[in-house]
Amino acid sequence: VPGQNYSMVTEFILVGFSNFPRHLLPAFFLLYLLMYLFTLLGNLLIMATVWSERSLHTPMYLFLCALSTSEILFTVAVTPRMLVDMLFTHRTITWMACASQMFFSFTFGFTHSFLLMIMGYDRYVAICHPLRYNVLMSPRGCAHLVSWFWVGGSVLGIMLTLIVFHLTFCGSNVIHHFACHVLSLLKLACGKETSSVTLAVILVCVSALMGCLFLIVLSYIFIVAAILQIPSAEGRHKTFSTCVSHLTVVIVHYGFASIIYLKPKGPHSMDSNTLMATTYTVFTPFLSPIIFSLRNKELKNAIKKSFQRKFSPLSS
């Protein structure tokens, strides 16, 4: 408003779980801490197994290692801060720390979606064009793809973070979230540019994520068509089983994202919104290593073999 003075915001307050009953916070803290630690250990176990087993030195498992790395870094960017804020009443975060957290969550979130997309393409080539697999998915080419996805995620992350923090934040500095979530933060911005920046952020995020989902769905349409042409039921089951873990993770990833971002507007309490947000930031990364470890037979056997070598007594 012309002629009105505003106090400029230099730090933010994360509401997070502060509205929850105090006696419930230790239980939530312990639950999310265990899920966080399991996420880290599960993904590190997958990476160590792929590294040590030569039979897993294939493009699919290179992408899986990159996916595990992105999940570890995403959870490290968000979850520790959430856990600390559960224990203390001082929940402020500086302007720079908030911008850094947003950049890292954008970067690793976009990279995660890009990697899920290329893993779908990998399954498409393996099933629909098996004779050309070694040409189309060469180790060198796949390493370049992974590098470009990290670069692309970083470019999108820094671009969105810069246009958001280019805005002026004045008046209230209370973020109704446990992290520097972009939509919650944009509600605090003032000025004529706010609505156009909000629209630009939504368009970039939706275009990138829905573009990846479209290509994944397209890959699986061709995969299903190829599998239906296999004459034996055993052959169809064996071929489809190579896709189950990836397809399950895609459904979980986009399913929880849809629950949060596409839910109808209504009289939802802040507490229920906070719990729903943790399904994407904590629960989805927690499920991913479980799904890949249990549903991927080759990886499960490699993990089992690795444990037997390390902990079983040596036979004569």
> Taking 70 as the threshold, does the pLDDT of residue 314 lie above it?
no
Beta strands across the sheet bearing 92-94: 92-94, 11-14, 174-175
Tens digits of per-residue pLDDT, 188-210? 888 788 889 999 999 999 999 99
Torsion of CA 182, 188, 192, 193, to 10 degrees: -20
Amino acid at 1: V
Q: Which of 257, 300, 253 is nearest to 120 (CA)?
A: 253
Check residues 278 and 99 and name the one with the higher pLDDT. Answer: 99
For 224-282, what is each residue's pLDDT tens digit?
999 999 888 888 888 888 888 899 999 999 988 887 776 655 545 566 777 888 888 88
- Calculate mean pLDDT across residues 69-75: 94
Greatest mean pLDDT among 67-81, 173-187, 271-285:
67-81
Mean pLDDT of the region 305-315? 67
- Arithmetic mean of pLDDT, 119-140: 92
User: Measured over all CA atoms, what is the biggest interatomic distance in the chain, rounded to whole angstroms?
Assistant: 87
At residue 3 the predicted structure's pLDDT band, cuts being 50, 70 and 90, is: very low
Q: Are 85 and 32 in contact (CB under 8 A)?
A: no
* Lowest mean per-residue pLDDT among 71-80, 81-90, 206-215: 81-90
Alpha-carbon distance of 246 to 16, in angstroms, equals 32
Q: In the prediction, which pLDDT does 16 show?
A: 84
- Residue 170 CB-density burial (10 A; 0-12 exposed, 13-18 middle, 19+ buried): middle
Conformation bin of residue 3: beta by default, left when phi > 0, alpha when psi is -120 to 50: left
pLDDT above 70: residue 4: no
Residue 136 has pLDDT above 50, yes or no: yes
Of 124, 113, 119, nearest in space to 150 by CA: 113
Look at residue 8 in the predicted model and tell me its pLDDT.
65
Residues 277, 281, 286, 292: what is their CA dihedral angle, to the nearest 10 degrees? 110
How far is 235 from 127, CA to CA, in rounded Å? 12
Percent of residues, the chain, with pLDDT higher than 70: 92
Two tokens at 238? 């064996």
Among 7-11, 64-68, 144-148, 155-159, the range scoring the smallest mean pLDDT is 7-11
Tokens of 114: 């890009």
Q: What angle do CA 116, 98, 171 make, to 5 degrees?
A: 130
Q: What per-residue confidence (pLDDT) applies to 2?
A: 47
Mean pLDDT confidence for 278-306: 83
Statement: residue 5 has pLDDT above 50: no
Amino acid identity, position 245: S
The strand pair at 168-169 and 189-190 is best described as antiparallel
Query: Which pLDDT score, from 0 to 100, does residue 127 have?
Result: 93
Q: What is the mean pLDDT of the chain?
A: 86
Q: What is the DSSP letter of 166?
A: T
**Which bin fits 138, alpha (ψ -120 to 50), beta or left (φ > 0)?**
beta
- Rounded CA separation 245/116 (Å): 11
